Copies of this chain bind each other. A is one copy, B any other.
Amino acid sequence: MTLDRSKLWSPAVSRLEPYVPGEQPQVANLIKLNTNESAFPPSPKVAQAITAAEINKLRLYPDPNSQLLRAAIAHYYKVDASQVFVGNGSDEVLAHAFFAFFQQALPLLYPDISYSFYPVYCDLYDIKAEQIPLREDFSLHLSDYQRPNGGIIFPNPNAPTAMGLPLSDIRELLNHNRDSVVLVDEAYVDFGGESAIALVNEFDNLLVVHTTSKSRALAGMRIGYAVGSAGLIDALTRVKNSFNSYPIDRLAELAGAASFADEDYFQWGRQQVMQARDYTVRELEQLGFTVLPSQANFVFARPNSKPAKTVFEALREKNILVRYFNKPKISEFLRISIGSQDNMTALVEAIQEIMQQ
């Protein structure tokens, strides 16, 4: 960017530090464990739903209210459709939520080690924020969030630590925090966590955000959703309808609804991930790694005898891609997505070789 370029920009654009997603390299035979995607394809019902007839109907706009998809999600969680909002991936849902709830006089609170898109949204909408440090062992204590605030957001399980919180901790926070929105970002909750959706009818200031990108293997389709009180969903809908009437395309709506209609496949997929995760944790610990307790489809692990960056680069040489964050407090860790059992066996063998060198 040169000064010449930015002279035509809104002043706000120059202050942005955009989010950088994990790499999507086009390399053959790459074992891709860097963006927490599913190792398995989506439910076969998804392909069945995307027929030639539906493709021809692409000439028509989608339903701006995504009623089919919202009804499927509402049915799944036993809530009313007025309690469900859908968006183009959970990132869009989060962006609208930051706009809708967190532009307040008091600061938004979120963990210092967390999803790195949160500070980007704060920059985008000029939201004041205060980062609450995790404890020494990377644990998140919600008692640290009982202070004046304009909103609270945290992932559960947290990212990139993978560590989860019990529902009782979240209930305790909500009992003490009634006047600002508490957003629980549950992108990874389906791999062993406890969802706060169980509490949405008790607390009208609770918003729970999910994605279909991980446990439903639909990262490529861009479907995120929020569940909360009708009042919060109303605010999100107002913001969405002031931005883009139709964020969910016709095929995405069909794909999402088909996924929620296939419970057996969903359960099978998450069991596969949890089994491969158990194997991975066991093997990494035997190789001398410290592995934080994971409730997610990834593990956060520190190779104690070599720098994390060295192991990251050596894995890349072997065509295995994991994620490395060159940031304070976590620069000695690797975030490793849980792929298929074959993927994880290959990873463990590659790490064995690397640690012996």
Tell me the A residues contacting B by CB distance below 8 Å.
Answer: 1-2, 4-13, 16-22, 24, 32, 35, 37-42, 46-47, 50, 52, 55-64, 88-89, 91-92, 95, 99-104, 120-121, 123-124, 179-181, 204-205, 213, 217-222, 230-232, 234-235, 237-239, 241-247, 249-252, 255
Contacts and interface: CB of A to CB of B under 8 A. Distances in A.
Contacts of A38: 59
A24 B63 contact: yes
A64 B21 contact: yes
B89 A246 contact: yes
A62 B38 CA distance: 13
Nearest to A62: B220
Given A8-B231, A92-B247, A220 B58 contact: yes
Contacts of A123: 242
Contacts of A88: 88, 244, 246-247, 249
A61 B61 CA distance: 24
A205 B59 contact: no
Contacts of A222: 62, 246-247, 249
Nearest to A233: B5
Given A50-B50, A241-B19, A219 B59 contact: yes
A249 B220 contact: yes
A32 B61 CA distance: 11
Nearest to A9: B235
A58 B35 contact: no
A52 B61 contact: no
Contacts of A239: 13, 16, 124
B1 A242 contact: no
Contacts of A57: 41, 220
